[in-house]
A and B are shown apart, each in its own frame.
Chain A
Amino acid sequence: MKTISSFSHMTHQQGLSRRRFVQGAASAGALIGLGGTPLSFAAADTPIMKFPDTLQGQHFELHIGYQNVNFTGAQQIATAINGSVPGPILRWKEGDDISLRVHNHLHHDSSIHWHGMILPTGMDGVPGLSFAGIKPGEYFDYAFKVQQNGTYWYHSHSGFQEQTGLYGAIVIEPANPDPVAYDRDYVIQLSDWSDQAPEDIYIKLKKQADYYNYKQRTVVDVWKDIKEKGVSRSWAERRMWNEMRMNQRDISDVTGHAYTYLMNGNTPEQGWNGLFKRGERIRLRFINSAAMTIFDVRIPGLKMTVVAADGQNVEPFSVDEFRIGVAETYDVVISPSDDSAYCVFAQSIDRSGFCRGTLSPNPSWMAEIPKMDQAPLLSHRDMGMAMGGMHAMHAMPSMDHSKHNMSAMKANGDLSNPHAGHDMGKHSAHKVDVPAPAGMGSQREIKHPATEFGPQVDMRAESPMNGVDDPGIGLRDHQQRYGRRVLKYSDLRNLYKTEDRRDPKREIQLHLSGNMERYMWSMDGVPFADASPLKFKYGERLRIVLVNDSMMTHPIHLHGVWSELETGDPLHIPKKHTVLVQPGSKISYLVSADAVGRWAYHCHLLYHMPGMMREVLISEGGV
């Protein structure tokens, strides 16, 4: 049995609360501080409940510091908030003016970004854009009015501190009666922990992009294919992948090989534990606070009624399973009608691991853990190819420069795209057409900017499908295979009427680009360091079309303003802060540029973010 004796290392001034400790010891035991006397208990089969503190009120003192943790059997140092990973749950009330003093006890700069909060740009917590960051030994006073309600979260926006534990949940009580009825609620915060330093992970990916992938094709798979399909058919099927040098099994850059997946800070061995009484309605507030892991969530035996996405209420609908991208949140309501133990099961998108919890009427019960599903395989569609051929695919830039220029000739004057604009736009500027009306998505043709042709980009989707109807890789056959209804973005309808009914006046097409082999990420082929800001005019309504020119699923987060996802009903457009863009697909949302300032716009996969990022500058002057 292992114990942790980390209390002497607790950095902070506040007295030890029995809930404020970082749990550890993968195998079994942990300590609970009772008046400073450590008490250990052993039973490996006893799920140990551990929560971060819940803080409420209008003023908060948060301390960012080092904290000993043990999630894997080895003691490690995390960057924690008030001594716990995750940090404390912050409960606010809509309409309140709140202030937060954030102290940085690290040896490096730090920051906290309030993810999904509508607030003044100076309070957004992005070093270099909103403010200068918090220097070691200093503090920063955040103050803003809470103008929304629901489930959100916060995290560091400095370095790779998110990976080492700097995140926590935000729950905002509505000012008006809550449209969602529930008897109790739980935050379920999913994350990924690694004993490897995040800088080392990034370097390893640069040196060998498939370093963490231990689910690659082997001779066994070749043999199976040949037995099933014969030599010539399996050769033909492999041809495209081989010619394009793409890996059909490249699902996650960093996998369970490096990660221990956590649910509210509990390892899979420990499991999180939540209680209910039969007949209660329980609201689960799922938050994906992982650095690199997209999760698929289900509770075998229970239907989940989705009531909110990214904190915003949606018309309730029922699912058996949903995919939650990094930084997204979903609120679901469940109502178990019997006294049994239910497993809250979150498997990583590549099925290299999971985290889990038990919901039951009895804290000593543990629900049966289901098996993970099959790992997804990528297909033609995920390369943005029209079904069934590679003629549409531009895999080798050498052969398609000429073709690109021709398609740019046909450009219909998309002035909003600076890259298309400067090379060809002028020729056709007289032919400006009006963007499609709000709600239904873009009608424009997909154009790859000239900057996307080069060694930094290994793929361009030629016929991307709209990702709004796609549950995502690996989930498309779950209805058929398991009878599970899986969430799609097209299921999301805002509970309320769309506030800004204007049609977009212009459209921006932005390509999510990269090179897997070299581990380079960019937008429109240009990394953040070399890009100029995207400029929005204060007050304008515009459409952003994201085209995923890669085979990874990217969660794209726009700070400061809502991403109003065009899911098909112009009158009930759901508002999101983070949008999953399926591989080789496109997706579009509307933006009301109603917040002046410098905002970050980036992929929320931590190791994509340094490159796949833009500044969005919203100003009176605008474009």
Chain B
Amino acid sequence: MNKQFLIYRFFFTGLILLSAASVTWGHPAADPVLSMLSFNRLEQRIGEDDTETQWDVDAWLGKDLHKLWIKTEGSYSDGNRESSELELLYSRGVSPYWDIQTGWRGDFNNTDNRQWFALGLQGLAPYFFETEITLYLGQHGQTAVRLDTDYELLLTQKWVLRSAFEADIYGRNDRATKTGSGLSEIEAGLYLRYEIRREFAPYIGLSYERQFGDTAHYTRSSGQRTESLEYLMGIKFWF
């Protein structure tokens, strides 16, 4: 617990430093070193049993085709962190719309922590789907694949409806983290936001989650739900 706290303190200090890295140049450089910090989601979720806070934050530092990324997402419930992830990635543009990203991912759970090597593709797929697909290799030979894609529909120039889909697939069972092999979990969400500015948008939404296979089995055996529909509200902002 203490160690996790230290990691997060380190992480947030890093984020603040990244975003403070200012840009000054006398003669305009086409490709200056820039940084960006995005709170893609910072939200309160209301489920059938309880409420929880979730975040999805990332930051990058770098140039057009070479960047360092830090990504984290996770959730708190009643003051306890249920689960969180942290990724540190090097990102390189390889085609007009795609970057290859590779690096480290750490999972921090109330159960056991896990570390992974990550190799993924992030970019804009045809039909404007913002997509991430990542392969993970765990320290004990575990494998996982995650697909994350979303599509934004403009209702007006400022009202945006975002639909998001995420799926997690694992190579084998990991009883300690209660994940089963095969398709483990999907999450589909709808988020309606209003862009007060491009950089600041409150939103409301709903999210449907469902577990499958052994993951569902583990969850059921600990007496929890394997399927949930949650209502949420939050803010998205970046700078």
Hey, which bits of chain A sit against chain B, CB under 8 A?
108-109, 127-128, 158-160, 199, 202-204, 206-208, 211, 214-220, 242-245, 396-398, 454-458, 515, 517-521, 527-529, 609-611
Contact = CB atoms under 8 A, between A and B. Distances in A.
B29 interface: yes
B198 A244 contact: no
Given A458-B96, A520-B31, A527-B30, A215 B157 contact: yes
B29 to A, nearest CB: 6
Contacts of A611: 30-31
Q: Which of B26, B93, B96, B155 counts the most A-chain CB atoms under 10 A from its CB? A: B96
A219 B153 contact: yes
A199 B26 CA distance: 11
B97 A242 contact: no
A515 B36 CA distance: 19
Given A218-B155, A455-B65, A517-B97, A610 B28 contact: yes
A529 B32 CA distance: 11
B91 to A, nearest CB: 12
A220 B28 CA distance: 40
26 contacts: A199-B24, A206-B34, A207-B36, A207-B238, A211-B198, A214-B157, A216-B157, A218-B155, A218-B156, A218-B157, A219-B154, A242-B128, A244-B126, A245-B128, A398-B95, A455-B65, A456-B64, A456-B93, A515-B96, A517-B97, A517-B124, A520-B31, A520-B64, A529-B30, A610-B30, A611-B30
A208 B160 CA distance: 16
B140 interface: no
A206 B94 CA distance: 17
B23 interface: yes
A217 B154 contact: yes
A219 B155 CA distance: 5
Interface of B: 23-31, 34, 36, 64-65, 93-98, 124, 126-128, 153-157, 198, 238
Nearest to A609: B28
B126 A245 contact: yes
B31 A527 contact: yes
Contacts of B34: 203, 206-207
A159 B24 CA distance: 10
Given A244-B126, A245-B126, A518-B96, 12 more contacts: A159-B26, A159-B28, A207-B36, A219-B155, A242-B128, A245-B124, A454-B95, A455-B96, A455-B98, A518-B93, A521-B30, A609-B28
Contacts of B238: 207
A245 B26 contact: no
Nearest to A529: B30
At the interface, is chain B mostly helix, strand, loop or mixed?
loop
Contact of B26 (A109, A203, A398): A109
A457 B30 contact: no
Nearest to B156: A218
Contacts of B94: 455
Query: Lowest 10 CB-CB distances: which A-B pairs, in order?
Result: A611-B30, A610-B30, A455-B93, A458-B96, A218-B154, A242-B127, A610-B28, A214-B157, A243-B126, A527-B30
B30 A397 contact: no
Contacts of B95: 396-398, 454-455
B64 A518 contact: yes
Contacts of A454: 95
A549 to B, nearest CB: 12
Contact of B65 (A204, A216, A456): A456
A243 B127 contact: yes
A529 B29 contact: yes
Contacts of A520: 30-31, 64
Q: Which of B27, B30, B198 counts the most A-chain CB atoms under 10 A from its CB? A: B30
A160 B30 contact: no
A456 B156 CA distance: 31
Contact of A517 (B29, B96, B126): B96
Contacts of A517: 96-97, 124
Contacts of B128: 242, 245
A202 B65 CA distance: 16
Contacts of A527: 30-31
Contacts of B29: 529, 610
A456 B30 CA distance: 12
A604 to B, nearest CB: 14
Contacts of B98: 455
A411 to B, nearest CB: 24
A60 B29 CA distance: 32
Contacts of A519: 64
Contacts of A521: 30
B27 A158 contact: yes
Contacts of B198: 204, 208, 211
A225 B27 CA distance: 46
Contact of A528 (B30, B124, B155, B156): B30
Nearest to B99: A455
A458 to B, nearest CB: 4
A220 B156 CA distance: 8
A520 B24 CA distance: 19
A136 to B, nearest CB: 11
